[in-house]
Structure 1
């Protein structure tokens, strides 16, 4: 049964023979026959012209050609030398960066596995078997010159109870306006300011809990902040350090921006 939701031309085409050479039913009007042939012709052209229809295009690039940003094949002879050189440079550097990314990912996995195995080995010396989640670890070379630190940090967010805490805090600040220290108001305003990505800075909000304020509403606000904390995952890092002449440790940067 034809799809009644289709436009009239396409609905008419559903009732037509698939083979263009088949004889059309005599009861079809001139308009339906034209619609069928137009649709068939468009489909045939789409299948035979990949450059005009990139979705059907062959991804194989023949020798001496390059594909441009619109998906068209362009002979090298028609591309400026500077454009060919730029293309080659970008592809060469990207391939090297991709290989480096893979090597760094494999190194990170291996480093975590080796540290984990060593921690278990060390625990076995005391007849202890460590299982489950393991926290931060710091390892030193025998001479203390090199240091490796594995850090596992929880990623936390606040749920809707943070808004209740904010209302209680605002109420306190409004009533304390005359007597409150201005630095407290600034600290609160800064705590609830969002970062560049639009997220609340969790460290600044949690720092409010360290303020020694006895007001009952403030204490309820701090309880709400504590209960609003939700752990949504963990981030794991491994960092490498070398001791400097002054005794401090300098991190070995594995970030391209810091090299």
Structure 2
């Protein structure tokens, strides 16, 4: 399978995860959020599941994972193993500090007319640009930008990896994402293409849904500055999700429209 086909499959998978029924969620979960070892390693599990953090549906393809190191340098992560119900990626953390592990994609869908016949397309921005032939008319397309991420720290906290890219829907963790403790107050900011998102809703879901029998979703909203300060709930692993616009249109949306989705996993530790 060539690189372009792999990227197309990855983008389509991410888009379907983000905008499918909420019963199935895509996520990456590190074996720990904080490693205290001279030679630091972490294992990232990835899956698409009905039960949060359960391996009950299908693996998440992790071909497109990138790692931003404590100095802010971003490189592709290699060596992911695709299993039947989950993917696994072992990462060496050669520098002390915080790392951002992310999957980002742009999925495009739409249609065009050629010689009076309507044709539909779906793929990445790169593949679609090659697919639409010269002479095509009435081109309509909409784009879905998806970001999925998690954070891991080796030996000491740092902030170099936490700087936003200014593209798409992003979380700016004012409170360090690997320094979250139950009962303390955390502050997060959401932004879209580098601009704060005021009055923007997002949610947190704790692990253990299978054993509770209820989701226990925590719903939060940013203030006029695009920031949300809130008391951290009980210790657990949590899945955060948000989408923009909040009310998603059915189907591909209006021609030229853009939709955004964000998700992340965190650990909240005891006080």
Asked if Structure 1 and Structure 2 have the same fold, meaning a TM-score greater than 0.5 normalized by the shorter chain, the answer is: no
TM range (shorter): under 0.3
TM-score by structure 1 length? Answer: 0.18
Between structure 1 and structure 2, the one with the greater Rg is: 1
Structure having greater relative contact order (Cα 8 Å, sep ≥ 6): 2
Indicate the structure with greater strand content.
2
Indicate the structure with greater helix content.
1
